[in-house]
Homo-oligomer: A and B are copies of this chain.
Amino acid sequence: MRERSGSATLRLPSRRPTCSIDVITVTPRGQQLAVLFVRAQQARARWELPWKEARGGDTMGSVARGIVRDVTSSDPAWLEQLGAFGEGRRHPSGADLSIAYVALVAQGVAKHLATNASWLCATDVPSLSPRQRGMLEQGLAAIRTRMDHAPVAFRLLPAVFTLGELQQMYELLLGRRLHKASFRRALQASYLVEPTEEWRSEGRGRPAQLFRYAPRKKKGGRRAVRFDLLT
């Protein structure tokens, strides 16, 4: 690395920063979101967000994806960088800075969870290091606000699903209730799903028609689905 800086005064270098890649891995579990944690074998070990030391060789995204694969033995349905967290030194690794990623994993796909790994409810997370606590908070907020939910929701569902299941997935990701009629209107306008001939009965009540993900553009292009909709 060139020992220059773009017109900025150069401080005396102390040392190269140490750097970790951390992943906030989230999965739907019933009516809630669960977050993936790991902890060391020893007794009284604290839960941590899974992380790995960053080295010069790999791209950050592939390291993050590898962490998810190693711990859950499944590929994330969605993976996005959250940002770099460096304030304070309080990270399980002691790294100077940490690049955080948010990953979404489909429900039940992670059959072979690593030992010492566990899904914990997002609303009741264990005590973490300050840096990982901030990452987790921002990561859950990013799921609610930053991502485009349409393509993700469908990757978290089976190939066919009821509109009720789809709405529940949206509500889980957005973290708020949606209005049923408005949800279906917006969905119809978005041309994202098409009905199948199948129906599924949950045991009581009227059976629900099954739909599949089939994005099409119609006249005037696909309308944006707003989903501001509140109950």
8 Å CB contact of A50 from B7, B10, B49: B7
Main secondary structure of the interface of A (DSSP, over half): loop
Q: Within 8 Å of chain B (Cβ to Cβ): is A3?
A: yes
Beta-carbon nearest neighbor of A91 in chain B? B1
B114 near A56 with CB under 8 A, answer no
A54 near B9 with CB under 8 A, answer no
Q: Within 8 Å of chain B (Cβ to Cβ): is A195?
A: no
8 Å CB contact of A2 from B17, B59, B94: B94
Provide the residues of chain B in CB contact with A16, threshold 8 Å: 16-19, 55-56
Q: How far is the CA of A96 from the CA of B67 in the complex (A)?
A: 20
Question: Which residues of A, 14-72, contact B by the 8 Å Cβ criterion?
Answer: 14-20, 38, 40, 48-61, 66-67, 70-71
8 Å CB contact of A9 from B17, B60, B70: B70
Q: Within 8 Å of chain B (Cβ to Cβ): is A87?
A: yes
Q: How far is the CA of A137 from the CA of B99 in the complex (A)?
A: 20
Q: Within 8 Å of chain B (Cβ to Cβ): is A196?
A: no
Q: How far is the CA of A96 from the CA of B55 in the complex (A)?
A: 9
Q: Which residues of A contact B (CB under 8 A)?
A: 1-11, 13-20, 38, 40, 48-61, 66-67, 70-71, 81-84, 86-87, 92-97, 99, 114-117, 146
Q: A2-B94, A5-B53, A13-B55 are in contact. Are A84 and B83 (CB under 8 A)?
A: yes
Q: A1-B94, A2-B93, A18-B16 are in contact. Are A10 and B52 (CB under 8 A)?
A: yes
Q: A6-B48, A60-B97, A84-B83 are in contact. Are A55 and B11 (CB under 8 A)?
A: yes
Q: How far is the CB of A24 from chain B (nearest CB, A)?
A: 12
Q: How far is the CA of A9 from the CA of B81 in the complex (A)?
A: 21
Q: How far is the CA of A13 from the CA of B56 in the complex (A)?
A: 8
Beta-carbon nearest neighbor of A49 in chain B? B6
